[in-house]
Every structure is written in structure tokens, then in C-alpha cells.
Structure 1
Amino acid sequence: MVMTDRPARVIAPVMLALFAAVGALMGDRALPLGLTVTAAIAGLAALVAWRGLVSWPLAIALLATAAGLVVLGHGNSANLAWMGFCVIAGWVALTSALPVTVVTGGALGLGIAAEWLQQRDEPGWTAWVVGTAFTLVACVFAHRLRETVVQLEAAQHQLAERSRAEERSRIAGEVHDVIGHALTVSLLHISSARLALDEDPDEARQALEEAERLARTSLEEVRATVGLMRTDASGETAPMPGAADIPALVESFRRAGVEVDLDLDGGLTTLGPARGLAAYRIVQEALTNATKHAPGEPVTVAGGDSGGVVTIVVRNGGVPRPGAGAGMGIRGMQERASAVGGELVAGPHDEGWTVRARMPR
């Protein structure tokens, strides 16, 4: 974890300067100038890190290099100072970019090599060399681990974005089906009202009332669908339609003047919420397409459960008008069937158009 608060940015260079000073004072030759330079660089690094003019890892790297030179010039490795260098070097490697880590590790390695070549009696050299090597290896491992964590976080972010995109696509499909059905059936009612306005005002009024009722119902469905995108204080949303609502859906088309023959297995109405909604939307979209693309033609809706597999078939007579649609409705129905582990095929037959969906119960 990278330390970014101001006290940490000051403590790091100050502690390193302290290690360097103690190491120098423990040596057998004095070097006041070196200590003075070290103190000056430590103060400068602390000030720079405090003001944020450059990154604090760079300030620590510069300080480590200067402190190492002081100890080397003093002629004594001073184990306490080298311990500080190892710890700070490891910390820099864990919290900074690779170039800064290379500079710090290089300075530390040169210092150790120079002290070794002097061939003076120095207790604990082997332990410190092994410790330093272990520190550097651990830092490399930590770098790799941090990169893995960053990659995992990026993958998690991508998954979240994909999930949000899929949710938006699903809700867009819901809104498309609801609005498409509402507009199609409402248009049929309005057309009937226009034709009956002069000869049968009562029939025209009933058609307009039905169109108004359908518009209100569809508006509530749209609100419920959009409500899935957010959670209110109660966390409650209106129930979505299911397979049990298919008869009422068919009846709404019949009231609009569409000739629909319904043949549903009683067990179909007990489908679970996800598959029930998929079945309802598939029938809704198929009826809407039949009404738009083959107006005036009779439609048959059949559905049943056989061996744990639900089959829904919507068939209409007539040939769809060329260029009547872009195929988005069919793709949406296929996506709905696929989402619940099923499949859907749609295409022409000898006498018209057939939509056939299959899904596990």
C-alpha cells in the first residue's frame, strides 16, 4: 500500500537521513562535510516531498544515493546505516515506479560492492548481503503482485461495465417491447374510432377509451421497467408480466380488431418469473410484428409443456411486406429465449410467418 499522506512523505527521508548520520558517526574517520551535505539533501528532499514539487519516491532515491556516498567515504559500513538503506530501498521499490526502484537498488548495490572491496573486518557482512538480496527479490515479487492486483482491478472494472451495458440493453429491450405493443394496438383502436366516428359514435368512443386504457397500462409497465435501474426507499417495484398474463395480452389485441386464436396448455401459466416474462414478451412482440407486417391476417398463438420443455408458436397468415422491419424484433426475441437457456427461430412458412420458441421449464 502506498503511503501518500504528508507525515509519511516527511518521515521517510528524515529516517533515512538519521540512519546515514548514525552510520557515519559510528565510523573510524570523521567527515563533517559529508554529514552536512547529507543533512542538506535530507532537508531539501523533505521540503520537496512536502510541497509536492516532485514525487516523494524520487526524493528518497536521491537521498539514498547521497547517504550511501557519505557512508562509503567514511570508510565503515556501519550496520545500522545499512539496515536503514535496505529497509528504505525496499519501501521505495514497493511504492514507486520501476526506474526509481532501479536507481535506488543500483545505489545500494554499488555501496555494498565498494565496502566489500575494501576488505576490512566487518561483523555481519554476510547477513546484510543476504538480507539485501532477499529484500530486492521480495521487492520484485511485490512488484509482480501489485501488477497482478492492478490487472485484477481492471478486469473487475471491465466486468462491471459489461454488466451495466447488458442491463441497459435488457431494459432497452423491455421498453422497446412495451412501447411497440402499445403504439401498435393503440393505432388500431384510433383507426377504428376514426372509421366509426360518423356512423357509430359509441363504438368510436369505446375504441378511444380502450386506446387510453392501453396507454395507461403501458405507461405503468415502462415505469416499472425503468424502476429496475434504480432502487427507491422501499426497494419495491411493480411486478412484471408473466406467462399467466398471455391470455389478457391476446384479449387486448382482439379488442383492437385482430383475429387471434389462443391455445395454451394450463401448465404454461405456472412458469417462473424469468421464463414467464420471456414467454410473455415473445408472444407480445410476435403479435405486434404480425399486426404491423401482415395487417388483417388471422394469428394463432399456441403453447405447451412437453417433457420439461416449453414450446411457444405464433403463426400468422399473409406474407410480410418487404422492408417492413429491420429484424430488431426478431433479434430481441432470440436474445430473450437465449437468456433463459432456450432458442427461437422465425421465418416464413407456406401460408405466412411462424415464430417458434423453445425453453426449459
Structure 2
Amino acid sequence: MTPPIGIRARLARAAPVVAAPTAITVLTAAGAVQTHREPLVAVALCALAIATSAALVWSDAKGMPLIVGLAVLAAGVTLACWGDPRNLGWFGACVIAGWAALVLPTRWAIAVGAALAAEFAVMLAVVSREPGWVTWMFGVALTCGAFVFVRRQRELVARLHAAQAELAERARTDERHRIAREMHDFVGHSLTVALLHLGSARLALDDDLDAARTALAEAETATRDSLDDVRAAVGLMRSTDNNVAPPAPGIADVPDLVDSYRNAGADVHLDVRGTPARVTASRSLTAYRVVQESLTNAVRHGNGGPIGVRIDATADHTRITVRNCCSTPAQHRSGTGIAAMNERLAAVGGTLSSGPAPGGWLVEAVIPS
């Protein structure tokens, strides 16, 4: 959506349209009066300036039509001020040069400025040797160059505003993707654990009511934790304090994550080797999310089979391996979880591979230290 144009921007756009025709008309009249033209001639030249300027503005002329119109205006100024280098009406030539520089491409604007300067050179050679003609030559050239610079600055500002808007939109898109990843991670994990407890409760209803009550209580706790996480995330998005951030889990919290699945009845084995504490905070969060998403997928598609989680931390990298021993490739389809893991790992310079392995499905992530 195009942002509304402010009053200052409207005035900046309207000023050349209104000021240039008005200035050319006034200067043409002043030049005719100063050179003592006949009243009918002065009126005719002013009428020509008004009609030509109005036609150019009304039609929003560009390219060759504008060049022809400016040539007519220059001819009117020349007829009004002919022969006198001290005539103030010659400022009309500077206005015409500035108009051309603001609207026309640079090469055409320079051509118009050169033609106007050549006119004064002809005056110097044919009419008189007064140095005032040289002054007007430099005046036209300076005006043309200054307004070309102004136009380029305006174009640069417009491009910068467009780039700024694009960056802002990209930042909003990245933030939406980040929020979607976070919501998918902790909500998916909590709901998966809750479903495991609910499944255990359903199976235990007929044989062990106490176990069923315990499983339902665990499911209730997992669901409540998920709701608290959602509320915290929404509250963070509404907060205006950029320094407020919820504590992020890390690789040191993986054992608690595995325990939550074990308590829900999943058969998960964890093997940690090396010193994971040496991993940076962002990479530590990435490692945690990879294990979380992999366990969620393994529980969802693994038919209750054993799941092996191995973390190897070295000075150069951290390798995470999650093996699901009882799932088939058809059960694992590419979804938002795999895409989210790929995005997270790409952000920290890591790599991810997932696919069928002997006896099941294997996810392997490598995170540089």
C-alpha cells in the first residue's frame, strides 16, 4: 500500500508546476516592459507564455513535447529581452533550464541548457560584446547543473524510501516466520506430550484408575504449560520494551525435554558426549529446537518404538543425531517442522539431513561452535 503523501511532499511536487510557469510569465512581461516593447507585443508575449506553460502543465508533457514547449517559451523570453544583457527578463532562461533539468532525462536537460547558453553566445557575437552575456551563459549552466543535482537527490531519496519500506516489510515477514516457528515448536511439543498422556490414560481406564488419573493430570499440566507459553509469547509481541525477552531454553535443557517424553510413556534414550556448555546461546537454542522437533516427529510417526538421541559436542561443532527405529519413510512428510529446522540451522551456519535409515528414520544436524 502506498503511504499517504504529506503536505510538505505535496508542496514540493506542486511548487515547480506552479512556480515555473508563473515565473516565466512574470519575467517575460518584465523583459518586455524593460525593453519598451509595444503594449500589444508585450501582451502577446505574455499570452504566449501563459498558454504554452498551461498546456505543458495540463498535459504533464514529457520528452519531445516538453522540449518543443520550452523552446517556445525561450523564444518568447528572447523576443521580450532582445539586445539588452542587463534585462532582468533573462532570468526566464534560467527558469526554463531549471524546468528542463527537473523533468527531462539528464542528457536532454544538458542539451536544453547548452542550447540556451549557445543563445547567449550568439548574442555576444552578433548583438554586442558586453560581458553580461557571459554572465547569463554561466547562470544558465549553473542553474541547469544545480537542478539536475536536485532531481538526482530527489530520485535517490525516493529509492531510499522504497528500500526502507522493503526492508521494513522483510523484517515484518521474518518476524512472522520467527513467531510461527516458536509457536510451532513449543505448542507442538506440549500437545504431543499431552496426547501421549491422554493415550496412556485411555489405555489405563479399565485396569488402573490411579495410573489413568496420573496420566490425565500430566496431560493437564502439559496443556496448561502450553497455554502459558502462548500467553507469554503474545504478551511479548504486545510489549513495547525491546529489552524484555523470555528465558530461552538451551542444550543444557535437553535432558529435561527428554524426561518429559519419558514421563509421557515414550521410549527415549539420551547420550550426551563432550561439553555442550561451550556452545553459544543462539546455537544452544537451535540445538534444543532441533531435538524438540525431532522428538515430536518421532513420537508422532514412530508407533511407540524406541528413539535414540545423541549429542556430540567438540571444540569445532555440535552434532545432534535423532534415530527413530520404528517409522517408515512414508510416515515422514516434509512439513513446517523440517522447514523450521532448516531455517534455524541455516541462520547459525549449520546443516541438516533427514531421511530413511536402516530400521527407521534418521535426523542429523551439525551446528558449528
* Aligned partner of residue 4 in structure 1, secondary structure: helix
Query: One-letter code of the match for 1:157?
Result: A
Q: Could you tell me which residue of structure 1 aligns to residue 245 of structure 2?
A: 237
Of 316, 341, 353, 1:345 maps to 353
1:163 CA displacement: 3.0
Moved more, 155-164 or 199-208: 155-164
Q: Could you tell me which residue of structure 1 aligns to residue 135 of structure 2?
A: 127
1:9 CA displacement: 6.3
Q: Could you report, residue by residue, the CA deviation over 1:259-303 in whole angstroms, capped at 9, with x for unpaired residues?
A: 111222473145333112111110001101111111211112221
Q: Could you report, residue by residue, the CA deviation over 1:187-224 in whole angstroms, capped at 9, with x for unpaired residues?
A: 11111111112322222122112112112222233344
Where structure 1 has 5 or more consecutive residues not aligned to the other structure, the ranges are: none
| Distance in structure 1 (CA, Å) of the matches to 2:14 and 2:156 | 28
Residues 74, 115 of structure 1: CA spacing in aligned structure 2 closer, same or farther, 3 A cutoff?
Answer: farther
Q: Could you tell me which residue of structure 2 aligns to residue 283 of structure 1?
A: 291
Moved more, 337-346 or 155-164: 155-164
Residues 300, 5 of structure 1: CA spacing in aligned structure 2 closer, same or farther, 3 A cutoff?
Answer: closer
Residues 208, 120 of structure 1: CA spacing in aligned structure 2 closer, same or farther, 3 A cutoff?
Answer: same
1:323 CA displacement: 4.3
1:6 CA displacement: 7.2
1:24 CA displacement: 2.4
| Distance in structure 2 (CA, Å) of the matches to 1:105 and 1:25 | 26
Identity %: 39
Q: Could you report, residue by residue, the CA deviation over 1:99-157 in whole angstroms, capped at 9, with x for unpaired residues?
A: 9x86x948973993796399211522233224323433454455455444444443343
Residues 237, 217 of structure 1: CA spacing in aligned structure 2 closer, same or farther, 3 A cutoff?
Answer: same
| Distance in structure 2 (CA, Å) of the matches to 1:72 and 1:237 | 74
Q: Does 1:259 align with 2:286?
A: no
Residues 87, 116 of structure 1: CA spacing in aligned structure 2 closer, same or farther, 3 A cutoff?
Answer: closer
Residues 34, 167 of structure 1: CA spacing in aligned structure 2 closer, same or farther, 3 A cutoff?
Answer: farther
Residues 331, 341 of structure 1: CA spacing in aligned structure 2 closer, same or farther, 3 A cutoff?
Answer: same
| Distance in structure 2 (CA, Å) of the matches to 1:39 and 1:82 | 12
Residues 116, 8 of structure 1: CA spacing in aligned structure 2 closer, same or farther, 3 A cutoff?
Answer: closer
| Distance in structure 1 (CA, Å) of the matches to 2:299 and 2:144 | 74
Of 28, 40, 50, 1:20 maps to 28
1:85 CA displacement: 2.2
| Distance in structure 1 (CA, Å) of the matches to 2:55 and 2:235 | 52
Q: Does 1:332 align with 2:328?
A: no
Q: Does 1:210 align with 2:218?
A: yes
Q: How many residues align?
A: 356
1:256 CA displacement: 0.9
| Distance in structure 1 (CA, Å) of the matches to 2:61 and 2:310 | 72
Query: One-letter code of the match for 2:92?
Result: F
Give the alignment of 1:126-145 within 5 angstroms: 126-140=134-148, 142-145=150-153
Query: One-letter code of the match for 2:364?
Result: R
| Distance in structure 2 (CA, Å) of the matches to 1:66 and 1:33 | 18
* Aligned partner of residue 323 in structure 2, secondary structure: strand
Residues 70, 344 of structure 1: CA spacing in aligned structure 2 closer, same or farther, 3 A cutoff?
Answer: closer
**What RMSD in Å do the two structures reach over aligned CA positions?**
4.0
| Distance in structure 2 (CA, Å) of the matches to 1:73 and 1:41 | 11
Of 88, 97, 103, 1:81 maps to 88
Query: One-letter code of the match for 1:76?
Result: G
Q: Name the TM-score, length of structure 2 as normaliser.
A: 0.78
1:285–1:329 Cα contact (<8 Å) kept = yes
Query: One-letter code of the match for 2:192?
Result: T
1:185–1:253 Cα contact (<8 Å) kept = yes
Where structure 2 has 5 or more consecutive residues not aligned to the other structure, the ranges are: 1-7
